[in-house]
Amino acid sequence: MNEKLAIDGGTPVRDKFLVFGTPTLGDEEIAEVVDTLRSGWIGMGPKVARFEEQFRDYIGCSHAVAVSSCTAGLHLCLVVHNIGPGDEVITSPLTFVATANVILHQGARPIFVDIDPHTLNIDPNRIEAAITPRTRAIIPVHFGGLSCDMDAIMDVARRHNLIVIEDAAHAVGTRYHGQLVGATPGSLASFSFYANKNITTAEGGMITTEDPVAAGKLLVYRQHGMDRDAWQRFQVRQKDFCDFVAPGYKYNLTDLQASLGIHQLRKLPSFQDAREQLAAQYDAAFDELSSVQRQFRPTSAGDRHALHLYVLIVDTDQLTAPRNKVIMALRAENIGATLHYTAVHLLDYYQHLGYRRGDCPVAEHVSEHILSLPLVPTMTPSDADDVISAVRKVLTAYKR
Ligand SMILES: Cc1ncc(COP(=O)(O)O)c(C=O)c1O
């Protein structure tokens, strides 16, 4: 007989709610924040510069520009390439709404190209058919931490003279053909350090690029269009005043935030190991379940899924409950399951813009069957066992 689900009044698998995406912060981060507070310089200053340098060295890229969020970074990349009204930007529908919103902020139009059902990333074979004379850029999204097929994307971009801006929100630590995401020649990448990301500064982001001209513009545009920032002015005690050479934004990171980033980046290899161990535990259990499918995971040495998200795609044909009910039942079992994402073109505002169901059938199907399970370095093997037990319990109870 099936165990009674907690959602129906049964006993939950665990007593304490397992929160999705808790940050992993330690004494080093706390001490660094205190040091910054005591230093008298809490805005953008030496610690942002240090974090940028460390990030640049880690990625192996030429330029790293810290910003207030990945969203701000994506927006700035469009700004410095003058993407505006009348332009089209190709992107994935299976993403956080920010990826598409920044295109709208510039008065341009997002063109959603359907995803590959195995990688859950934009299907490179469909991009060319979506290119028009108005297409200016492609924003590939490395969904969950799995790199897009960058060789194919860069090839199509070169042939059509398009800018590539990678949404690398999930991709700190992602490898593609031996190289970390963020070091692809000819593209810009924007990373996220939001609270639940693989490394965090509470809010924050980083743009990386090999292009010195774009990097120079990003530095100006991230802080009001100022020709030099406050820390540079302070260091040289300049007598003259700064000038404003562009209508820039207030998108800078602060030293308080960088204080976290400096230590988070150092700890990233251990975070990655922990994620991999927990994911292996999940894999072994979920391989036996016929009603779930997992995202493709590369096995070659030069490629690495950063495991920002661990997603299952549930085959609701085998179940008596829709995906949302499965998520609610898992939450009742005290497992913080959640959804990434409803396909952007199905969201209310995008429907008002004229996007329609049927535009991207693969993304629509995935977005209605996908769920994300908790996967953070602070979890113990016993926490992962609870997640596995809850998934088994819920799927067994709802089995057709
Ligand atoms: C795919 C994707 N792109 C962009 C963002 C925006 O990142 P941020 O919150 O740093 O602006 C997120 C955040 O969750 C995301 O998941």
Average pLDDT over residues 294-308: 97
Structure tokens at 56: 């640049």
Is residue 238 included in any domain, yes or no? yes
Domain identity same for 188 and 159: yes
- Residues 315, 339 contacting (CB under 8 angstroms): no
Is residue 1 included in any domain, yes or no? no
Check pLDDT > 60 for residue 173.
Answer: yes
What's the rounded Cα separation, in Å, for the pair 337 and 339? 7
Domain identity same for 258 and 386: no
Q: Which residues of 111-134 are buried (b: 16+ CB within 10 A; e: fewer)?
A: bbbbbbbebbbbbbeebeeebeee
DSSP 49-117: HHHHHHHHHHHT-SEEEEES-HHHHHHHHHHHTT--TT-EEEE-SSS-THHHHHHHHTT-EEEE-PBPT
Domain identity same for 321 and 205: no
Helix (H, G, I), strand (E, B) or coil at 138: strand
29-53 residue pLDDT tens: 999 999 999 999 999 999 999 999 9
- pTM for this model (two decimals): 0.97
Q: How confident is the model at residue 89 (pLDDT cuts 50, 70, 90)?
A: very high
- Percent of the chain exceeding pLDDT 70 equals 97
Q: How confident is the model at residue 237 (pLDDT cuts 50, 70, 90)?
A: low
The CATH number of whichever domain residue 192 belongs to comes to 3.40.640.10
Domain identity same for 35 and 153: yes
Catalytic status, residue 197:
yes
Domain identity same for 285 and 167: no
Q: Give the chain's domain count.
A: 2
Q: What is the CA(338)–ligand 1 centre distance, in A?
A: 15
> Which of the listed residues 212, 243, 264 is the one where a domain comes to its end?
264
Check pLDDT > 80 for residue 135.
Answer: yes
pLDDT at 238: 58
pLDDT at 243: 85
- Residues 369, 315 contacting (CB under 8 angstroms): yes
> Which of the listed residues 264, 296, 320 is the one where a domain comes to its end?
264
Averaged pLDDT score across all residues of the chain: 96
What's the rounded Cα separation, in Å, for the pair 86 and 389? 51
Counting Cα atoms < 13 Å in the Cβ hemisphere of 56 gives 14
The CATH number of whichever domain residue 348 belongs to comes to 3.90.1150.10
What's the rounded Cα separation, in Å, for the pair 80 and 119? 30
Domain identity same for 352 and 370: yes
Q: What is the CA(291)–ligand 1 centre distance, in A?
A: 29
Name which residue leads in pLDDT, 200 or 244: 200
pLDDT at 1: 57
259-293 residue pLDDT tens: 999 999 999 999 999 999 999 999 999 999 999 99
Domain identity same for 10 and 76: no
Please state the separation of Cα 342 from the chain's center in Å.
15
Q: What is the CA(324)–ligand 1 centre distance, in A?
A: 22
Check pLDDT > 80 for residue 241.
Answer: no
Domain identity same for 102 and 162: yes
Is residue 36 included in any domain, yes or no? yes
> Which of the listed residues 264, 292, 313 is the one where a domain comes to its end?
264
Q: Which residues line ligand 1 (CB under 6 A)?
A: 69-71, 95-96, 98-99, 141, 167, 169-170, 192, 194, 205
Domain identity same for 258 and 148: yes
Is residue 188 included in any domain, yes or no? yes
Q: Which domain holds residue 187?
A: 27-264
Q: Which of 4, 16, 197, 325 is catalytic?
A: 197
Is residue 222 included in any domain, yes or no? yes
Is residue 193 included in any domain, yes or no? yes
Domain identity same for 236 and 283: no
Is residue 347 included in any domain, yes or no? yes
Domain identity same for 85 and 118: yes
Is residue 255 included in any domain, yes or no? yes
Domain identity same for 209 and 301: no
